[in-house]
Amino acid sequence: MSLNEKLNWRYATKRMNGTKVPQEKVDSILEAIRLAPTSLGFQAFKVYVIENQGLKEKIYNLACQQPQIKESSHFLVFAPNRKVTTELVREYLAFFASERGVSIESLSHFDELFVNIINQSEEKNFAWTSHQAYIALGIGLVAAATENVDATPIEGFNADELDKILGLKEQNLGSVVILTLGYRDEETDYLFTKKKVRKSKEDFFVLIK
């Protein structure tokens, strides 16, 4: 199948059958998420990979009453940094310099960009880091489709409760979106037989030549 055929195959699976996704497929999806582009390459978020059934049940009961939480093989919680701090930036630049084999001084052109980000409010910081996490979410959805793994993005959850369960606030993190991974239950998922609905190319794209 071509990539577009894979994307036409995928849909926001509402019911999963609990079958485990092979680890090599999970690893492939996670690696694609890790390689996703982010502004300045900063990767100002973490991704929690949850397989433990007891934790799934707890999150289902307290934070997200959507059946995919319990029925998935794994689910991912995208948790951006609430505030971009000087410490985070220093750690990143030191890592960047080490990976590229260059001096910290040679990265001075980053200073003004990061100073502007650091000086923003926590609310603006969290909006910016959340946008980066959503880029990675999109890459994860595509990667799952290429592996023939069903994936459902979920925003309808109690972020405060989920943050408490995972201890995110203490780590300067906050949950913004969940991605469940698994396999569709063809007998109970009402969307399985439904046609994918998307605007036509003519209505969707604005061509400027």
pLDDT at position 96 over 90: yes
Digit-coded pLDDT (tens) for 167-194: 999 999 999 999 999 999 999 999 999 9
pTM of the model: 0.96
> How many domains would you assign to the chain?
1
How far is 15 from 143, CA to CA, in rounded Å? 20
Q: Which domain holds residue 125?
A: 3-84+120-204
- Residue 112's pLDDT is 84
Q: Which two tokens stand for residue 184?
A: 């569709």
Whether residue 106 is contained in a domain is answered as no
Whether residue 103 is contained in a domain is answered as no
- CATH number of the domain to which 50 belongs: 3.40.109.10
Cα-Cα-Cα-Cα dihedral sign, residues 19, 25, 30, 32:
negative
Whether residue 130 contacts residue 159, with contact meaning beta carbons closer than 8 Å, is answered with no
Residue linked to tokens 């799934």:
56
- Residue 110's pLDDT is 85
Q: What is the mean pLDDT of residues 84-112?
A: 93
Digit-coded pLDDT (tens) for 2-60: 999 999 999 999 999 999 999 999 999 999 999 999 999 999 999 999 999 999 999 99
